[in-house]
Each structure stands twice: as structure tokens, then as C-alpha cells.
Amino acid sequence: MTLPYESATSGERALGEIQKLLRGFGCNKFGSMIDDGLGEVLVQFEYKGRPVSVKASIKGYAAAWLKEHPYNPSRTRSTRIQHERKAMDIASVAVYSILRDWIKGQITAIETGILTFEGAFLGQIMLPSGKTVLEHAEASSMLPAIEGPRGGVN
């Protein structure tokens, strides 16, 4: 079985498409960053004075890819480290494409009246403290714990 987006090739091009989507929607102050230590991609922008920060886990996608494609020394011509590096390389491209599609979906939902801006990006809206609404809610134990692994877009 293949993992969605594991064959994506757009990577950096998807980042340009994200910027184009956000500008077309009226956003400004666009920026992006990769945090290699945390294994995250960060996309930030501002919409009508509301700063937004979207984080996506490269390590999370890589772990899912490794689960779908476990290392098998008898079938793989690489070392375990090379196999894990391949997972991170695939993940770093896939995450950009996932973010592009997710942001496009959120913007489309806003433009068609399905959601408000706040409804679409509530968890990613930044507070004056520098934390997102989601980070504040999690730190304040406002949300009940969910069993199982945590993943997704923050």
C-alpha cells in the first residue's frame, strides 16, 4: 500500500503555490521555515491583522512512511540509516504538498461560506503571547486528552 503524497515531487514548488494562494486570498507577511531539530515545517502569514502559524511534522510523516515501508536488510540495498534518511527526504517533500492542499481547502471553505476564517484557522491563530490558540489550549489542559498517537497540522 502507498502512503498518500509519498510520490509527491513538488516540494519547494508547493511552498510557492501556498504563498500564491495566501496572497490571492488577501494575506500578507508570508514566511516559512524548516526546523530540522524538531523535524517541522512552519508556515506563517497574516490575514487582516491576525497572525497565523501553521506547523506540520516532517518526522510524523517519516514515521508513517517507515511503518508502511519497514526496513528489511534482505530486500533493501541500503543501511537502516540510509533508509531512515530516505523517509525524511520523502516526508520533507510530502509535507509541503499536504500543507498546500490543506491550506487551499481551508481557503476554499472560507470563500464558499462553509467556514469563517476563525473557524478554519482557529488552532493556528497566534495570540499576543506568541503561542497559537491550540498551544495555549493544550498548555492550559482545556482539551481532554485523546488516546493514541498525536499527529497532524498544528
Q: Is 70 domain-assigned?
A: yes
User: Which of 135, 114, 111, 113 has its CA nearest to residue 123?
Assistant: 135
pTM here is 0.87
Q: Is 4 domain-assigned?
A: no
Q: Is 96 domain-assigned?
A: yes
Domain extent, residue 45, equals 12-116
| C-alpha to C-alpha distance for 118 and 123, rounded to whole angstroms | 9
DSSP one-letter code for 127: P
Q: How many domains does the chain have?
A: 1
Q: Is 97 domain-assigned?
A: yes
| C-alpha to C-alpha distance for 54 and 40, rounded to whole angstroms | 10
Question: Which residues of the chain register pLDDT less than 50?
Answer: none
pLDDT for 150:
57
Contact 153, 99 (CB under 8 A): yes
Q: Is 42 domain-assigned?
A: yes
Q: Is 59 domain-assigned?
A: yes
Q: How far apart are the first and last CA of the chain?
A: 27
Q: Is 107 domain-assigned?
A: yes
Q: Is 129 domain-assigned?
A: no
